[in-house]
Chain A
Amino acid sequence: MSREHDQGMSLIVKTITRLTVGLILLYGIYIISHGHVSPGGGFAGGVIVALSFVHLMLAYGKEAAFKKLSKQAASFFESAGAIIFLTIALLGFAGGYFFFNFLAKGEPFKLFSAGIIPLCNVAIGLKVGAGLFGIFVALVLLKFESEDKK
């Protein structure tokens, strides 16, 4: 991120961001939770959730974004998503084999259906969203020695 944008962008961008960033986050959560009913899924929804925090960071500067989701929280969510996904897979051994769909199927086209698939989507969404936001933060804050001397 260039130096003049450390404190965020202009007033127009900040106002538009304040109106849209919640809708973007909500749309990402919708894509994650309806991944088994309609197109989408954990990966795409997770990227949209990460994009909402990236949006916040670009418009308001890094302090405002870290107030909403700190780096520690991002790394915690990433590890938690991976562990939840693996735990769901291992719980399948209770029914017979790895990734066994041990929950009730429910009826089609309902939000609570398809057994473990929505849970896996939520875990992957957490992991992808937090992980990609972490990569973005790491690359944005990266400064080289030559730039310090200026």
Chain B
Amino acid sequence: MIELYILIIFMIVGAIIAIEVKDLLSSVVAVGAVGLALSIVFLILKAPDVAITQLVVEILCLIILIRATLRKDLPFSTTGRWFLNTAITVCFIAVFLFVSFKALKQLPPFGYPTMRVASVYLKEGLSVTGATNIVASVILDFRAYDTLGEATVLFTAVIGVLAIVRRVGRKKVGEIVREEDESRPS
């Protein structure tokens, strides 16, 4: 359990560095370090599926952040109204700590869930679906409807991105749009 605490402290320190550092590239690298530590945490908690997904999605996000959006430092201002900002932040942290303290005391102990349906999946997953990877049998057979919703969310996200960053809403008759012009908002 001790390595888990070390990784969690590392992630908290990385997140604080990502917020506080002035250079945007250093901030993105710190976010990447937090994500990689999170994938190791998943591996320690015996969840290799989630660890693989976290690792590859983190790498893709890092590449997109560095390569596509990080051309120059964006204008960024935090001067003025520091008292109000600090007061609101402290207020929210206090409320959040209080609520999470109340909620965490009500949680069942680690490894003893109140929902009993998971044990049925574990016992009968192999015989009912024939898949030796229990995670695959849950997300694509028992709870495939959730996966359909997730796929719809991703599909909508892709369509939204492609619709927002395209160049023009309508092409004129006979107008030819070159490849590099295609995604330039005008």
Instruction: Give B48 Cβ to nearest chain A Cβ, in Å.
Output: 4
Contact flags A30-53 to B (C-beta < 8 A → 1, else 0) = 010001111111011001101100
From A37, A40, A137, contact of B52 by CB (8 A): A40
Q: Are A2 and B71 in contact (CB under 8 A)?
A: yes
Q: Which residues in A have their C-beta under 8 angstroms from that of B161?
A: 134-135, 138-139
- B residues 142-162 in Cβ contact with A at 8 Å: 144-145, 147-148, 151-152, 154-155, 157-158, 161-162
Q: Are A105 and B155 in contact, with the CB atoms below 8 A?
A: no
Which one of B11-19, B29-37, B54-62, B109-117 is at the A interface? B54-62
**Which residue of A is nearest B72, CB measured?**
A147
Nearest-neighbour CB distance to chain A for B178, whole angstroms, equals 11
Residues of B within 8 A of A145 (CB): 185-186
In the complex, B180 has a CB within 8 A of chain A: yes
Residues from chain A with Cβ under 8 Å of B51 in the complex? 39
Q: Do A131 and B154 touch (CB < 8 A)? A: yes
Q: What is the bound-complex CA distance between A26 and B116, given in angstroms?
A: 39
B124 contacts A by Cβ under 8 Å: no
Contact in complex: A85, B63 (CB < 8 Å): no
A59 to chain B, nearest CB (A): 12
Chain A interface, number of residues (Cβ within 8 angstroms):
60
B8 within 8 A of A: no
Q: Given A115-B129, A140-B68: A82 and B151 within 8 A (CB)?
A: yes
Question: Which residue on chain A has the smallest CB distance to residue B184?
Answer: A143
CB neighbours of A66 from chain B (8 A): 179
Across the interface, do A37 and B132 meet the contact criterion of CB distance under 8 Å?
A: yes
| Interface residue ranges of A69-108 to B (CB < 8 Å) | 71, 75, 78, 82, 85-86, 89, 98-99, 101, 105-108
Among B20-28, B76-84, B94-102, B133-141, which stretch is in contact with chain A?
B133-141
Task: Please list 5 pairs of residues, one from A and one from B, whose beta carbons are closer than 8 Å in the complex, sorted by A's number.
Answer: A47-B60, A127-B151, A128-B154, A131-B155, A135-B64
Nearest 5 CB-CB pairings of A with B: A105-B130, A114-B131, A39-B48, A139-B68, A99-B144
